[in-house]
Structure 1
Amino acid sequence: MIEAKNVGRIDGDRLQITRVGRCGRRAGPLAIIVAAAVLFSDLSSAWAGGGPENVLLVVNRDSAASRTIANHYQHWRKIPPGNVLTIPWPPQQQTTDIDTFREKILSVVLKEIDRRGLSAQIDYVVYSSDFPTGIDVGPDAREFEKRLREKNPEAKWPNPPLTTVASITGLTYLWFPVSQRLNMYFDLRANAYMRRDIPAQKGYPTLAFSAQQHFGPEGELMEGTNRRYLLSVMLGVTAGRGNTVDEVLAYLRRAAEADGTRPKGTVYFCKNGDIRSRVRDPLFPSAVRELKALGVNAEIIEGIV
């Protein structure tokens, strides 16, 4: 059965809506490749630590903004057509619950990576725009507390939990425990890839990221563990109080043009009383030290970005 769907295609700087057929039985209702992108010519760019073949670009097929941003990004970053996945989502729905996210977004992404034979190469899940930025994880927190108390009535689960809302990118990064409903994604040390300034990690080298790496409880490389990750970003927020499509495209273009140029400047780490700063403050000195070792100037200042 062939079913036609509207997808965006770039014609100069304008979005054109075209009809692209898809095979519903083979690809499933949530997997369309933005095929028009193969017509684009390449722009020269330099990648650090990864390449276009390591990216899965996820597009909201129901959003013209998401399609437009994705098509430009695919062109500038030379993402292969087979690494583009489109799924439906109400463009103005900026939040959802954890079960809906798992069913409608995360599980679809993971299954498509596997179905397309990309499991050995995808390191980055890049969402275009018009996907939910806030995910209510309260239902999982309540379920985890229930399980914990069934095993040990005296056990204590944080009440209230440290958070009841998580980001789509953070939950995608912690894809394994999130997809398997494991409470370890609530652990403050869930990110074993991150190098911490603690005795247990003394002498541990920093590592170029790979989704194929497995980590032990102290961040050591260890085969066969559940600590695996997928880097994740969202290219822009175009709903609500977000940016315009033109603003998103402008900074994505500048980023692509800046690749490999090593522009002069200073990286500033801003300390302030906000919780987002306080939890990171102890790590600023080591980050500054590492950047300076690479020849990049960096400073710690008091202030708000």
Structure 2
Amino acid sequence: MAVRNETRVTEFILLGLSSNPDLQLPFFIFFLLMYLLTITGNQLIVVTIYVDSQLHTPMYFFLSNLSFIDLSFSTVTVPQSLANFLSQSKTISFRNCVAQVFFLHLLGGTECFHLTLMAYDRYVAICNPLRYTTIMNRRVCILMVISTWVGGLIHSFAQTLPTIQLPFCGPNEINHFFCDTHPLSLLACSSTFFSETADIFNSGSLALVSFLVLITSYTYIISAILKMNSNEGRRKAFSTCASHLMVVALTFGPSAFIYLRPSATIPGEKLLSVFYTIVTPWLNPFIYTLRNEKVKKAMRKLVGRKCTFHAMHTN
């Protein structure tokens, strides 16, 4: 309540990607198409893995959870942006702005932990294949996924709380297309040293832990792959790991550049934000499905079932 009383600003204005009115419609079309493709692609992966019993393995269980996180992550920012592209006011209430920050970091932190978990899964599968089903049993997989959400929740609270305790007295124009800790801190009426330090420390800790686990896992994985006698086995292992590493690079690269830096605004910040909030969640389904024959086969089977079902009911 004390924070609420100190906060004079009750709503913010999101300035968006550009103030040029001629660009609002093209931006709207681009965001809408990307969002629809993201939702469709990720939902298709979730449904395919759920329906096909051959994909009920830890790797695909984690992949379906990643797809759910991606479609949720896009939903945090894109619908508000779409509305603002066609609106004159472009306002967002203080409460909704805080909620956007909270869910943005909840899902972003969860995804980082989840990608780290997927690296560990590949490590067990390649380095301990005979014990894989024992180590990565269903109970363990569920607990590990829950732990990524708990980690994301802790990360989100650590990012959001220092920011919302800042007094906002005006101006209330956020030079961005969504609410985030850095654009908000630029509007604070008092020193932001504590919130910025907490922001960098929290993001740095998450990045460091994830990076160490990823590096350790892939050091063992690559060593094990190189020792394989079968060329086909090496090819399949490298293909699976390459898909995961591409997603890791697309997720961690822009995010680290945005959050692990001083508070000064940098050129291209909005473009990087578009990349990791919109483009990356759209690309992830393509990266995994285009390089995975099992998923493509299961999707074709699912589409075939749907067509047969419609044909039977039409006739």
TM-score exceeds 0.5: no
* TM-score normalised by L of structure 2: 0.21
Higher relative contact order (CA closer than 8 Å, sequence separation 6+): 2
Name whichever structure is richer in helix by fraction: 2
TM-score after normalising by structure 1:
0.21
